[in-house]
Amino acid sequence: MELSEFSWEIVWRLLCAVGLGGVIGLDREIAGKAAGLRTHMMVALGAAAFTLAALKLIPGVSISDPARIITGVATGIGFLGAGSIMKGGGEVEGITTAAGIWVVGSVGVACGVGAYMLAFSTTLLAALILVILGRVERISRKRRMRREQHRKLVAADPAPDQVTGNWVPPSMG
């Protein structure tokens, strides 16, 4: 399909990208991450717009070289995602947000080329991963923290005297 100067198909593709990017960004927004709803929507919109612009450069041709479009968008979004990863206190944070930004870019490209089923399927899977596995990670993290607290309490608990069996405070040495 040729993309004319104004086409409802162009508008639909951009709206699709914004809406689906928002679905993925909503989880990050609820989690209180810096890259939330607006960021994810903007990344999807930008990816779709770049894709549509590339398609527009060659009238009458749907896609001249899809690998170039995808590579350019993926590289640019990769740099954006890398900027959301922070390392502090020995822990790396922001990897899930960076991955979400990367996925949103692919959704934007899919919307830009009109591959709606790919875009919707990718969004559905990403949302399921973020919501369901996010809960699993939180449960796992709480259990891990409880185990660590228990270990600290056990380590700080006074041990029984080997001879008398009476509890004695740990040595301060």
Residue-wise pLDDT for 18-48, tens only, equals: 999 999 999 889 988 878 899 999 999 999 9
Q: What pLDDT is recorded for position 46?
A: 93
Q: What pLDDT is recorded for position 96?
A: 86
pLDDT tens digit sequence for 127-171: 999 999 988 988 998 998 988 887 877 776 655 555 565 665 666
DSSP string, 33-58: -SS-HHHHHHHHHHHHHHHHHHHHHS
How high is the mean pLDDT of the chain? 82
Q: What pLDDT is recorded for position 126?
A: 95
Q: What is the number of alpha carbons within 13 Å of residue 86 lying toward its C-beta? A: 9
Whole-angstrom Cα distance, residue 64 to residue 68?
9
Q: What pLDDT is recorded for position 7?
A: 82
pLDDT at position 2 over 60: no
Q: What pLDDT is recorded for position 11?
A: 93
Q: What pLDDT is recorded for position 91?
A: 75
- The ranges assigned to domains in the chain are 8-133
Is residue 60 within a helix (H) or strand (E), and if so which, with residue range? none
pLDDT at position 78 over 90: no
Burial track 89-113 (b if 16+ CB lie within 10 A, e otherwise): eeeeebebbbbbbbbbbbbbbbbbb
Mean pLDDT of 50-67: 69
Task: Please give the model's pTM, rounded to 2 decimal places.
Answer: 0.73
Q: What pLDDT is recorded for position 67?
A: 75
pLDDT tens digit sequence for 89-131: 667 788 888 889 999 999 999 999 899 999 999 999 999 999 9
At 6, the pLDDT band (50, 70, 90 cuts) reads low
